[in-house]
Structure 1
Amino acid sequence: GQYVPEDIALMVAKNFFTERQQHFLKKTSSEINFIKKLKNQHSISENFYIFNTDSNTGFVIVSANRKSYPVLAYSFINNFNEEEIPPEVDEWMKRYDAQIDKIKLLKSSASLKVSQAWDKYLDENFEIENTKLKEAPLLDVPPLLSTTWNQGRYYNALCPECNTGGSGGHVWAGCVATAMAQVMKYWDYPTSGLGEHSYTHSVYGEQSADFQNTLYNWANMPNSLSSHNNDVATLLYHCGVSVNMNYSPSGSGAYSSTARNSMINYFNYSSNTTLTSKYNYTEENWKKLLRAEIDAGRPMYYSGFGSGGHAFNCDGYQGTDYFHFNWGWGGSYNGYFYVDDLTPGGHDYTNSQSALVGLLPHNMELELDSISAIELFCSTPYSGSTTNGENNANQYSGTSWHETGNEKIHKITTANSGRITAKITDLADNNLDVFILKYANRLTNLAYGDSVAILDDAEAGTYYIVVDGRYAEEGDYTLEVICPDNRADLIVEKAKVDPQFVQSGQNFQVNFLIKNIGNDDAPANILKFYVSDDQSLSGEDVFITSVNINLVAAKEDTAITKQLTLPADLTPGTKYIIFHVDANNEVDETDDDMNFTSAYFTIPDVGLMNCSSAINLADNELYTGNTLLYGDSIIDNYSCFWGLTNKEIIHSFTTEHSGLVKMEFSESLEGTTFVLLLSACNENACVNTFGIWSPDDTTLTQSFHVTGGVTYYLVIDGNADMGNSEGAYSVRLKFPDECPNPVITAGSSVNKCDGDHGAYLYTDWGYPNFQWLKDGVEIPDAINSGFTANETGLYLVKVNENGCINDSEGIQVKFSPKPSSAEIAALSDTTFCE
């Protein structure tokens, strides 16, 4: 009952075309005659109709299913020639076809928007006067591009030659290059490019372009070509080289991500240019973004469907749903196309669309409006909206977020140094983000966040706070900025739970750092621990215990390790330990809201393991066992390894101190025997797996980190399908000392030439904290187990474990000037013997 016959589709086409011509062209419609029906290759029924005007002045494409939006595309330029459809248009039409195929299978009804559109254009008394156009005129921005360039003859004159295929004896210039070039011609920019680039094509050899020494003669680039034009051909070829075009006689292709980088790096377009995907947007926000770009006079490089990387230009719109596409095919098929997904719910067939937004010359990028910046006052909430903001910044330095919505800029002046915290409350639950900038420039971003942006160690002065919308979102917000003052300010950092898996009632350890980032000493106070299902503290969270925190001087910190016991009867799953410093509000602070942090751990699912007969392993004592003689075949699947169907033996051990355990394990069996480390008596609490993988080896030496006071389990198990792996083995554990003994290793040469990649250094990853030093000075933010040294110096790592701090031995890294080219000279004439 949803099929649309030809006569009904023709009525829709006539009424729609009449409305659009009278409204946008201010003239009466030409007579429209049915020209062709395209059939779905998988079905005998039509999915859409193509109607051409009898005067070759346009076309209308109408869906053949009432659950799809009625008009899919239209044009006022020329007829639709189905005999020579370019790949870009072909892919677009196939996607319409696929969507309507999907619609036929759906049992849902048409949306209200779709039903109203069909009713409107099926009115037998349809007249423009009776529409709502007079009351609410349709939006209209005519196509921005004047060019109707192509990929073929004349345009591809400098592309590699080919004997067959292609056009005019050359391979196709490529749709990516054509789409880039048409945008550049719109701006008549650049005069010259930046740098040079070359690459080697697998068939056509080296392709190169010298952008910086080329003058692009825009004045000699007409809107279309009917004869050879070296300036246009040069531009098209340079665009192709810049993206490493995969030239081919059957069609040349490149990636859209490369097009974005080339426009910035070789043609000096704004780094604010963003390749953004429709996948991340709502239908309305995507259309709003496209309209905003076109309203700002910025034609877009646009990519569509399929695996071929099809690219074209979006440069105009009519109404809210139809956007003008210039297909880069000599003007053919240019028209207005419906960009929304046709299928109500389910898979969105339009998600693979993407666009380059903010695409304009580097010297035309608009700065953020500092003059109109809203002045804020410390700790005083401000309510605003981005709906009436500007849309100038898409990308901020230090983040890859696509801030394609409107932004609002504010400024604040602080009198003290310290932490600046900008907090936004997104009242309409829109996707708004907050940024702290040094200046009114997106490239001076100092801190950012989706609800809170934190800038530590800020000097007194003026800063700019920007609220921006990700993925074209906009809406109301409340913004509050907390400034440093003369009070204390406590925070908790580097919180960690060990081990990763903890069962209800089991001991575990927390490591954390209490910092006073304020400008006054913080007196003694109480820190409380809770277990929570999420990262925020609420009345439903379970209190564990508390600990006394001693005075912390201004700008100082203190590291704390605490043994805790998890409450009983907690449900399995991911949990969080909530750390709440100054829980009784005893300290007069700048920002009490930042007294919280969390660290995650996992309560494993209930297991089958029984450890009542587990064999205890003592420090530095060798144990010999035999899984064939003394093992049990109860556990086959562990959280870190499945299918261990052999007999297993369970060992247990508990160390006094936290640190690295050194294990020696030996077996000489035919198959592979595995050693599984569990942090609880539960096969679902597996934290590591070890094995002797080479048949030539019989001994394994391995280090792993454990938490003091926690009972761990070593399970010896194997797989019957991997050869005979049941039998004799031996294992010895060397427990950690109270003080750590870190050892660093160089992962590459430490003697480098200037310009080489840095020297990678690393230590055992299990320690709870690390601090790398160069020439005795701590390196900021170098707090991981690995570090890349990019300068000459003596490097070492400092580890804090069990309240004991110890340094590793140092490794000297040296960077030296590269040697000059060697030369040889003959002291006398040279002769050669035959």
Structure 2
Amino acid sequence: MKRMKNKVTHFKWSWGLLLIFCLMIVPMFLQARELREYEVRTAVETWVRHVAPEARPDAIIEWLEPFEINGETGAYIAHLDGSGFCLCGDNEMVLPIYWYSPYGRYDPNIPDFEYILGEIASLKMKLNGLKDEDYGKFQQLQPVFQERAELWEDLLKGHIPTRRQLRNRAKAKAAPDSMSLALTTIWDQNDPYYLQCPQLPTSGFNCKVGCVATAMAQIMNYWKWPASGNGSELWFYEYRWRSNWDQEPLAVNPGLNISGWWVGRLDYDTTAAVLKMNGYWDHSFYLAAIGKSDSTGYRQALDALWSRMDEDTTWLPVNYGATTYRWDLMADSAAAFSPDGRDAVATLCYHAGVSCHMNYHVFVSTSNEGEMVNALKDHFFYDPDATTCGVDMNTMTEEIQWLRAFAAGGSDTAGRGSHTWTYFGYDTSTDPDRSFRMNMGWAGSGDGWFTYDTVATNGLVFEVTDNTKQIAPTLVRFVGAASPGDGSPNDPYRDVEEAIVEAPDNSTLIFKAGSNNAFAAATLTINRPLTLTGRDVTISKSGSRGPSRNYDVEKVDRQTQDVLKEEVRRFDEP
């Protein structure tokens, strides 16, 4: 009996040790959990105080608002005390913060925020189901999930996530850890920007500028280019109208709320049981009217009335070559424009819209982001290397390092809406999920930092679908490549020696941020007008032990040529 007891005891211990061992090797992500509301609050406050770009050391969450789908919390909106907000995850497999606006206010009327919250929730659901749907991918992402669990753990303890930072610091980088370009405008699509956009007849309503044109206009203002345009364009605005009431039978009252701009356009006669339509409409009015009732009968009656309206067109001719763009009158915000400035910015935004073949409407104007490429090249003397491409974190970072603001476009995975906006900064402190600084084209509302989720962009779900990059005036040239080039964004000059020989007079030469640019000649002389600029850039003689010249961003003017002459003479000294 004693021997049997020992065997049983040994058997129990063996299974116990095996169970402990199995539990120890279970990957962290298999145990990923939902964070409770107070945990999300603690983690987000730590992140905003100590980790975020434009950190706020005294930040307090005034209100943590759950975002629900089908009655379940999928993400959170953290409203910061005073101003600012974050769009947050609530599971160890997703990031704590996806969107951080240091000084804006969350606006529930901006659908794009809801789309992003929906994307966070969808990503969480996708990752939760990944084990059964794609186990290979599930295993591949194990290190990422473990790191994210550590990140949440550090933030919950109120600690700066040092484990993550130490891993990132091990990757040496010459370029700045963080930089933002001098894109200071906070424009939108309303007054004064839309004042030259087409107007729906008799209504007094101007069409919206359109997000593509707003992003394009702000990038053009960043470059202050061109002085005048090139060529001409003839575009159009389509609408429908009738001068008296038309009606369609509708037995069931759809319960319409008729006020504001709907007065005199749409009505329901309860006595006659008919839906009535009158006045001037464009397609955005029609789409808005659809949303006023979910009744099938109402939709059928509305469609019948819409189909019977007369169609008409306003033609929109633009002569770019005869236009002078007054960059000196452009202000950063609507309230700061002079009367002449209001006209100047309205001209710019309208011309950008026509060049992008904008589908003009009163409530929303739309275009394809790719239209921006040909518009800049054909009418505004921008380099033909501008292109629309897929999303890549390193490419996005390099665009900023080359001092090129760029546009991004995206839509939610449900296909409910899309938007185009501008990127003008990055910050590596949140790596491997880098932060990018954005101007959303909403008059500053919601501008801030978006965290690039490396998991979401690995073929799962993500809102951003493309970037329009390499946007630069033709008189701007770029320096720093492995082989000779023409100085264009896609083919930079090899070095400063090639650049000062080949670049046109009055060119701006841009060196990539953090680059070391050596010249081999005994002396380097610039004897014609050129502007050299870059961030944390060094220009020095090859092998020289003497001092080098370090250029900070954006402020090196044409007098640099004389400074360089003096500098290279010092390089020649023993």
TM-score, structure 2 normalization: 0.58
Classify the secondary structure of the residue corresponding to 2:51: helix
The equivalent residue for 2:101 is 75
Choose from 93, 98, 119 the match for 1:95: 119
The equivalent residue for 2:11 is none
Choose from 84, 91, 97 the match for 1:65: 91
The 1:25/1:55 distance shift into structure 2, 3 A limit, reads: same
Classify the secondary structure of the residue corresponding to 1:365: strand
The equivalent residue for 1:14 is 45
CA distance in 2, matches of 1:88, 1:440: 45
Does residue 1:202 correspond to 2:238, yes or no? Answer: yes
* Higher Rg of the two aligned structures: 1
The equivalent residue for 1:516 is none
The 1:13/1:38 distance shift into structure 2, 3 A limit, reads: same
The 1:356/1:100 distance shift into structure 2, 3 A limit, reads: same
Does residue 1:365 correspond to 2:477, yes or no? Answer: yes
1:43-58 equivalence runs, <5 A: 43-56=70-83, 58=84
The 1:393/1:364 distance shift into structure 2, 3 A limit, reads: closer
Classify the secondary structure of the residue corresponding to 2:199: coil
Q: Which stretch of the first structure deviates more once superposed, 352-361 or 156-165?
A: 156-165
Choose from 351, 354, 359 the match for 2:466: 354
Quote the offset at 1:344 in angstroms.
8.8
CA distance in 2, matches of 1:44, 1:359: 44
The 1:198/1:147 distance shift into structure 2, 3 A limit, reads: same
Preserved CA contact (<8 Å) 2:480 2:494: no
The equivalent residue for 2:281 is none
Quote the offset at 1:352 in angstroms.
5.7
Classify the secondary structure of the residue corresponding to 1:353: strand
Quote the offset at 1:130 in angstroms.
5.3
Does residue 1:225 correspond to 2:334, yes or no? Answer: yes
The 1:129/1:71 distance shift into structure 2, 3 A limit, reads: closer
The equivalent residue for 2:426 is 317
The equivalent residue for 2:184 is 146
1:30 maps to a residue whose letter is A
Choose from 334, 345, 361 the match for 2:447: 334
Choose from 23, 30, 34 the match for 2:59: 30
Does residue 1:254 correspond to 2:360, yes or no? Answer: no
Classify the secondary structure of the residue corresponding to 1:362: coil
Classify the secondary structure of the residue corresponding to 1:208: strand
CA distance in 2, matches of 1:131, 1:252: 46
The equivalent residue for 2:247 is none
| Gapped regions of structure 2 (runs ≥ 5) | 1-31, 132-137, 240-312, 496-500, 504-574
CA distance in 2, matches of 1:274, 1:373: 22
CA distance in 2, matches of 1:68, 1:95: 11
Quote the offset at 1:90 in angstroms.
4.2
Classify the secondary structure of the residue corresponding to 1:122: helix
CA distance in 1, matches of 2:88, 2:219: 30
2:109 maps to a residue whose letter is E
Quote the offset at 1:253 in angstroms.
0.4
Choose from 213, 216, 228 the match for 2:322: 213
Classify the secondary structure of the residue corresponding to 1:179: helix
Quote the offset at 1:154 in angstroms.
1.4
CA distance in 2, matches of 1:392, 1:69: 40
Preserved CA contact (<8 Å) 1:92 1:305: no
Preserved CA contact (<8 Å) 2:92 2:148: no
TM-score, structure 1 normalization: 0.41
Which structure is higher in strand share? 1
Classify the secondary structure of the residue corresponding to 1:324: strand
Preserved CA contact (<8 Å) 1:13 1:61: no
Does residue 1:122 correspond to 2:153, yes or no? Answer: yes
CA distance in 1, matches of 2:39, 2:486: 43
The equivalent residue for 1:2 is 33
| Gapped regions of structure 1 (runs ≥ 5) | 279-285, 375-389, 397-405, 410-438, 442-834
| CA offset digits 1:414-473 (Å, max 9, x no partner) | xxxxxxxxxxxxxxxxxxxxxxxxx999xxxxxxxxxxxxxxxxxxxxxxxxxxxxxxxx
1:181-580 equivalence runs, <5 A: 181-203=217-239, 204-226=313-335, 229-278=342-391, 286-306=392-412, 310-319=419-428, 320=431, 321-340=434-453, 342-343=455-456, 347-350=459-462, 353-366=465-478, 373=483
Higher relative contact order (CA 8 A, sep 6+): 2
The 1:407/1:274 distance shift into structure 2, 3 A limit, reads: farther
Preserved CA contact (<8 Å) 2:187 2:444: yes
CA distance in 2, matches of 1:17, 1:67: 20
Q: Give the length in aligned residue pairs.
A: 369
Preserved CA contact (<8 Å) 1:256 1:309: no
Preserved CA contact (<8 Å) 1:274 1:358: yes
| CA offset digits 1:53-110 (Å, max 9, x no partner) | 1121x222221222222321212222323x221x444444433333233223222476
Preserved CA contact (<8 Å) 2:87 2:117: no
| CA offset digits 1:228-264 (Å, max 9, x no partner) | 6011111000001101110112210011121110011
The 1:323/1:272 distance shift into structure 2, 3 A limit, reads: same
2:394 maps to a residue whose letter is K
Preserved CA contact (<8 Å) 2:63 2:79: yes
Does residue 1:105 correspond to 2:129, yes or no? Answer: yes
Preserved CA contact (<8 Å) 1:144 1:299: no
| CA offset digits 1:93-144 (Å, max 9, x no partner) | 4333332332232224764234323323433543349566589499211354
CA distance in 2, matches of 1:90, 1:392: 42
CA distance in 2, matches of 1:117, 1:440: 49
CA distance in 1, matches of 2:487, 2:121: 37
The equivalent residue for 2:297 is none
Quote the offset at 1:322 in angstroms.
1.4
Preserved CA contact (<8 Å) 2:185 2:331: yes
Classify the secondary structure of the residue corresponding to 1:297: coil
The 1:181/1:14 distance shift into structure 2, 3 A limit, reads: same
The 1:36/1:352 distance shift into structure 2, 3 A limit, reads: closer
CA distance in 2, matches of 1:327, 1:10: 26
CA distance in 2, matches of 1:164, 1:62: 45
Classify the secondary structure of the residue corresponding to 1:141: strand
1:247 maps to a residue whose letter is Y
Preserved CA contact (<8 Å) 2:479 2:494: no
The equivalent residue for 2:208 is 172
| CA offset digits 1:627-661 (Å, max 9, x no partner) | xxxxxxxxxxxxxxxxxxxxxxxxxxxxxxxxxxx
Quote the offset at 1:34 in angstroms.
2.9
Quote the offset at 1:209 in angstroms.
1.3
1:703-718 equivalence runs, <5 A: none
Preserved CA contact (<8 Å) 1:143 1:324: no
Superposition RMSD in Å: 3.3
The 1:192/1:394 distance shift into structure 2, 3 A limit, reads: closer
CA distance in 2, matches of 1:288, 1:33: 35
CA distance in 2, matches of 1:129, 1:92: 25
Quote the offset at 1:176 in angstroms.
0.5
CA distance in 2, matches of 1:340, 1:164: 48
Quote the offset at 1:330 in angstroms.
0.4
CA distance in 2, matches of 1:224, 1:152: 12
The 1:75/1:352 distance shift into structure 2, 3 A limit, reads: closer
Preserved CA contact (<8 Å) 1:50 1:60: yes
Preserved CA contact (<8 Å) 2:198 2:237: no
CA distance in 2, matches of 1:164, 1:96: 44
2:323 maps to a residue whose letter is T
